Structure 1
Amino acid sequence: MGSKPVHLKVFVDKKKKKVMFAEAEQDFVEILFSFLTLPLGTIARLTSNKYEATKDVKVGSLNSLYESVENLDNKHFSNEHCKIALVNPNNSSLSLCQKLKLNLNNMKPDTSVCESDVDVVFFKKNTSFIITDDLNVVPVLLDTSIPLLNFLGVEYIDLLEERTIDFGLEEFSSLLKWSLVTDTPLTNLVLGGGKSCSCFFSCSSCIKTSTRSNLPLITSYYTQRQTVKLLIQKSKGKVLCAEADNFFVEMLFSFLTIPLGSVKRLTMNNSSSPTGIDNMYNSIFSSLGDGKYLKSEEIKNMLLCPKLASNYLRVTDLLPIYENNINPGSFLKEQETFIVSDELEVTVSPSITAISKFNTLGIPVGDIEVTEVSIGEQEALLILKACLTSTSALTDCLSSFKKAKSMI
């Protein structure tokens, strides 16, 4: 990498085969928090299957969507820069992230960053932190550490195995991936992959959290609802694919430009999942958001609700992700009809080809029905959430699509 690795000290219960907690300095935690500034396109690139430890782990339908953009012929884009802006999206927080010991936005390592004299980027001063297995982050203070260790069931720290892990790009990329799909990302990273949780932002067993009403919001545009045709396998109630015009694909492609922290903010409701990203997000809002640790309120808002990079035009009115003064634009060149799979793979092909493909999979034409559904902001946000949680994103949103149609 051209830089010294960042260290993490983990404490492992060998009987339980679990990382009980970890101890980290502020340089590690700052890189961890920078996950929230990453656009989903960057996350898709970092969490692709190039690392052996997580090659069989999928982050919902995100990687499928990203690969669609990579594979789509350049002739379908407005210009050569549009595709680049999706597969290698800009980060609005790049100027700060470049000062971190490891900038996850870089396609290639930037050795000059390592020579920087900056000691702290997000925090007021050098601070040590305890990080739980599910990425709850708290400062190392007696009044917080002892209750936390009691809650974790740690009676004697010296009975735990202590390991020091060197983190570089591969380790942080793997931790990012585990933090999106499981509530035990440190254990999965250190001791090997385990069962992932597919719920990310909401599931029936999740803990209730309060709404963060004091976070900045971006004004929502009023927009006329649009329609999409779905091919549904009647016997299983499963969406086989969608046939959609440009508006729907522009919306899907815009997902890749949205920072993770904003995705979390946009899809927040009264329930929250126990995944690592969710706990880390809550740590910034609660235990570290009181003004004692983060440098400023601006840093806090940058992490909890990061903005899109300023180079992106407004390609969709279905998502409240743009500032009011952003001009309209488009990633795609001209009006076409696209086929979108349940896993959000986007292709340009005739409908008859898609039907033939399903016949090959043993699905007869008689088991396929076409239904037209209505898409507005609420449905767009559901698909955005499902993009990170499910490999059957459209099927997961089907009941909401039908409900929305019945109310029109």
Structure 2
Amino acid sequence: MAKSSVSMKLLIDKEAGRVLYAEASKDCVDFLFYVLSLPVAKLISLVGKQQMVGCLANLYDSIENLNDSYIQPNRNKNTYLKPAVIIPPTSCSYVPLLALEDSFYTCNNPTAVCPSCRRFVNMAMHYVYPRGKKRYCEEGVGFVRGVVSYMVMDDLVVKPMSTISTLTLLNNFNVKEVGALQEKVVHLGMPQAVKLLKASLETDRVLTTVFLKGPR
């Protein structure tokens, strides 16, 4: 089954009380990028309507509260409120870790259409890694390549990590004393994933908010 958590190493400026950046592996970055592919309705349901900033939650409520008599007979509220993740049968057998969906689906569902074969889908699936194979043993699995570590900034900017980029960053943050820096390994599981989603909608200091201060 997919891993329940991944880890990344934070570099913290203790004096400023902030995360400068996180060192992350391929699987962690794959997950962060995977969040972008989630439907808006799924983000709302994960974060919670009461926790959403702005008015998107009102659209969610509007559909939820709309009487069925006003809905087209060939439409279902859950198509919008609980959109399914669809895995085309011809795609790579990979489900992003920390998958935020309740289920994954293949062909023959009356409410969603497979983008590959154009048939309806509804068969729930569970992903199991092939015996004896490593998670990233095949080229093209996931989104980014695992040839380097990645730097995840406090505002979720992601880029390949290098010595030069690290030194440049420390200089930009005017870090003079290495002793003021602290390394901290944190685990990103389902609870932290939801907190990251919420914080990313509210602030540009996401890692600091979630792992140092705690979200509001």
Q: Structure 2 length as normaliser, TM-score?
A: 0.73
C-alpha contact 1:101 1:114 (8 A) present in aligned 2 = no
**Deviations along 1:1-28, whole A, 9 cap, x unmatched?**
9734111211222332211211111111
Give the counterpart of 2:181 among 142, 160, 170. Answer: 160
Residues in 2 aligned to 1:93 and 1:149: alpha-carbon distance in whole angstroms: 42
Q: Distance in 2 between matches of 1:88 and 1:192?
A: 31
Q: Distance in 1 between matches of 2:14 and 2:92?
A: 39
Partner Cα separation in structure 2 for residue 59 and residue 47 of structure 1: 10
Residues 7 and 186, structure 2, Cα contact 8 Å, conserved in 1: yes
**Percent identity (aligned):** 30
Q: With a CA cutoff of 8 Å and minimum separation of 6, indicate the structure with the bigger relative contact order.
A: 2
Deviation (angstroms), 1:193 = 4.7
Instruction: State the partner residue of 2:202.
Output: 181
Alpha carbons of structure 1 residues 179 and 79: separation in structure 2 relative to 1, 3 Å: same
Match in the other structure for 1:70: 64
Q: Which has the higher strand share?
A: 2
Distance 1:193 1:145, change over 3 A: same
Aligned to 2:107: none
Q: How far 1:83 moved relative to its partner?
A: 0.7
Matches within 5 A, 1:346-361: none
Say if 2:102 is the partner of 1:107.
Answer: yes
**How far does residue 121 in structure 1 lie from its aligned partner after superposition?**
0.8
The 3 A distance-change label for structure 1 pair 157 and 112 is farther
Cα-to-partner distance string for 1:150-197 (whole Å, 9 max, x where unaligned): 2133345553232221111221121012112211111111123568xx
Summarize the Cα distance change of 1:192–1:83 in structure 2 as closer, same or farther, 3 Å threshold.
same
Structure 2 residue matching 1:154: 3-state secondary structure: coil
Post-superposition shift, 1:35? 1.8
Q: Distance in 1 between matches of 2:92 and 2:75?
A: 24
Say if 2:15 and 2:180, in contact at 8 Å, map to a contact too: no
SS at match of 1:181: coil
> SS in structure 1 opposite 2:127?
helix
Name 1:133's counterpart in structure 2: 154
Residue 45 of structure 1: aligned partner: 45
User: Structure 1: 5+ residue runs without aligned partners?
Assistant: 50-54, 196-408
CA RMSD in angstroms, aligned pairs only: 3.1
Deviation at 1:126, TM superposition (A): 4.0
Q: Is the 8 A contact 1:100 1:113 kept in 2?
A: no
- Are residues 1:8 and 2:8 paired? yes
Relative to structure 1, the CA distance from residue 96 to residue 189 in structure 2 (aligned partners, 3 Å threshold; closer, same or farther) is farther
Distance across 1 between alignment mates of 2:135 and 2:27:
10
Distance (whole Å) between structure 2 residues aligned to residue 131 and residue 176 of structure 1: 15
SS in 2 for 1:113: coil
Alignment check: 8 A CA contact 2:25 2:149 kept: yes
Q: Evaluate the alpha carbon distance shift between residue 142 and residue 114 of structure 1 in structure 2; reply closer, same or farther with a 3 A threshold.
A: farther
Gaps of 5+ in 2: 105-123
In 2, the alpha carbon distance for the partners of 1:140 and 1:29 equals 12
Output the amino acid matched with 1:9. Answer: K
Aligned AA (1:75): S
Cα distance 1:165–1:47, how it changes in 2: closer, same or farther (>3 A)? same
- What is the aligned residue count? 188
Amino acid at match of 1:46: L
Aligned to 1:83: 77
Contact kept in structure 2, 1:97 and 1:103, CA below 8 Å:
no
Q: 1:40: how far off?
A: 0.9
- How far residue 48 of structure 1 moved from its aligned partner, in angstroms, is 0.8
What is residue 31 of structure 1 aligned with on the other side? 31
Contact 1:21 1:130 in 2 (8 A): yes
Checking the alignment, whether the CA contact within 8 Å between 1:20 and 1:133 is kept in structure 2 is yes
Q: Residue 4 and residue 103 in structure 1: after superposition, are their counterparts in 2 closer, same or farther (change >3 A)?
A: closer
Compared CA separation, residues 23 and 150, structure 1 to 2 (3 A): same
1:20 equivalent in alignment to 2:4? no
**Matched-pair contact (CA < 8 Å) for 1:37–1:91:** no
User: How far, CA to CA, are the matches of 1:114 and 1:173 in structure 2?
Assistant: 24
